[in-house]
Copies of this chain bind each other. A is one copy, B any other.
Amino acid sequence: MQFIRINMSEQTVKVEDVPQDYVGLGGRGLTSIMINNEVPPTCDPLGPENKLIFAPGLLSGTSLVNTSRISIGAKSPLTGTIKESNAGGTVAAALGKLGITAIIVEGLAPQGKLFNLIIDQNGNAALQAADNFKGMRTYALVEILLQDHGEKNGVLCIGPAGEYQLSSASIQSSDVDGRPCRAAGRGGLGAVMGAKGIKAIVISRQGKNPDAIADPESFKESAKVFAKAVKDHPFSGQMLGALGTAGLVSAVNSIGAFPSYNATKGVFEGWEKISGEALAETIQKRGGQTTHMGCSQCIIRCSNVFVDDGGKYVTASLEYETIWSMGGMPGIDDLDVIARLDFLSDDIGLDTMNTGVAIGVAMDAGYKEFGDGQAAIELMEEIAKGTEIGKVLGNGPAAVGKHFNHHRVPVAKGQSIAAYDPRGMQGNGVTYATSPMGADHTAGNLVGAYLGGVLNPLEAEGQVKASRKAQISMASLDCTGLCLLAGAALAAPDVSEALLKMINAKLGTQMGADDIPALGIRVLKAELEFNRNAGFTNKDDRLAKFFYEEPLPPHNKVFAVTDEDLDNTLDFK
């Protein structure tokens, strides 16, 4: 239970016991509550007052499956709001095993200076000059770092986009094979890391000092229940292993909510060429891996390894949101191009969603043709080079809309929506509009309810309630380090009880069932408070205008949830 506080202005590293106020918090709960306590809400996100906080979940580092999600928090340079961006890979489990509750990066390195932070198997942390890594893309960087420090390390790092402090810059996280192909993409937190002057954090995966579990037997028993439920659930146990998240392409297209050609259509003409089925077939034919373990302790294996027609590695893992943002939005129906764009995003250090949507907006504005994959690849290289147009694109869809005077910019609070159109899935629109994170599907995704037929996606009725519930659930789940895909199993009462028991067993607490949503509400309240103090009002809790005005084919609906209903969504007073 230790904090590592790094002051980049003075390049000091301080290890401290977790202060009493923060004991029992992990993941998003810890990052959001700390940021609300410690970061001045009106500060410059790229200035010295902002803090960049890395926190594994409460259950990361334990034996429980699928608990290697790391929460990264800061004030976002993209949205201006508080932000938690969540990534898989190996580092959350690694930090848990080292007994490190959070890494807190403060201050700013002297301009132009770059450092790596190295954390060894005993939990000792040290800064090392990294000027020689300047400008390096992430795959090359991580290869060298793992050579230098050993393969049994996890890496968090930024690419050129983070060094340029672009608003779509990601923090890349290495997978179990040592590839920086997992991303904390949302909110431009790579720009914050770049501003702080940190190129990479190398974390030993060989720690043997996890926080004690108060009741190991109870924990073990419930962990088994949970793992079995994840395996048995049709979504996490079957569909995801077979098709990955890409299985959603055909499903969301079938209900007309797959935003295509910069959200002018809800069905993508070429969806069959980029569906999960097409992806699996392509990978299989070429000898890639249709299923693959990307994150420590993962039993879902939604990951895949995409190879070219010569069998050579292109990218891992090609996921639903990327197939949408780099496929549907710019109108590209070629999996090879999409896979290349995914790799480039990881390598340059960019959020695939914000970047694909930015390219889609530029195409819609007439800068390039929809469907021109070669142009999209060239635009990615412009971002990598930091050219004028590259910077505009790398700052995301809102910057592109401003640059080209284009009104159709599918964002909320400056961040792109995800692969669920708010006109075809109205409740996801409620989440985009009201989440303290800006448009973020992981803050409360209702796709399961729509595909399962329990909620009509096209009517306003019932959406606010469903979004509120999902947002509260996600805010508590994001505290645990659990993957949201594993979270599907939690709908069953015995599984959610198992989760409660594990949290109690880990912390030695006696929480009841109500305490889990109460934790989610506490986290959301801290986030909302930060945003209010940063100057946000309910006027900001709105989608881009065109969602209210331009009907989306094939259902030809507009976003129909009223402002009053949006304002009630997270009104906990």
Partner-B contacts on A (CB < 8 A): 41-44, 46-47, 164-165, 167, 195, 387-389, 391-392, 395, 399, 402-403, 405, 407, 533-537, 539-540, 542, 545
Contacts and interface: CB of A to CB of B under 8 A. Distances in A.
A533 to B, nearest CB: 7
A549 to B, nearest CB: 9
B535 A540 contact: yes
Nearest to A194: B405
Q: Which of A46, A405, A545 has the most CB of B within 10 A?
A: A405
Contact of A43 (B387, B392, B540, B545): B545
A391 B403 contact: yes
Contacts of A405: 46, 164-165, 195
22 contacts: A41-B539, A42-B539, A42-B542, A44-B407, A44-B545, A46-B405, A46-B407, A164-B405, A165-B405, A167-B402, A387-B388, A388-B392, A388-B403, A391-B403, A395-B402, A399-B402, A533-B539, A534-B539, A535-B537, A535-B539, A535-B540, A537-B537
State the main secondary structure of chain A at its contact with B.
loop
Contacts of A395: 402-403
Contacts of A47: 407, 545
Contacts of A43: 545
* Copies per assembly: 2
A47 B389 CA distance: 24
Q: Count chain B CB atoms within 10 A of each CB in A42, A389, A391, A402 and give the residue with the most.
A: A402
Contacts of A539: 41-42, 533-535
A191 to B, nearest CB: 8
A397 to B, nearest CB: 14
Q: Which 5 A-B pairs have the closest CB atoms?
A: A535-B539, A388-B388, A165-B405, A388-B389, A535-B537
Contacts of A540: 535
Contacts of A195: 405
A9 to B, nearest CB: 14
Contact of A392 (B46, B392, B542): B392
Given A395-B402, A535-B539, 20 more contacts: A41-B539, A42-B539, A42-B542, A44-B407, A44-B545, A46-B405, A46-B407, A47-B407, A164-B405, A165-B405, A167-B402, A387-B388, A388-B403, A392-B392, A392-B403, A395-B403, A533-B539, A534-B539, A535-B537, A535-B540
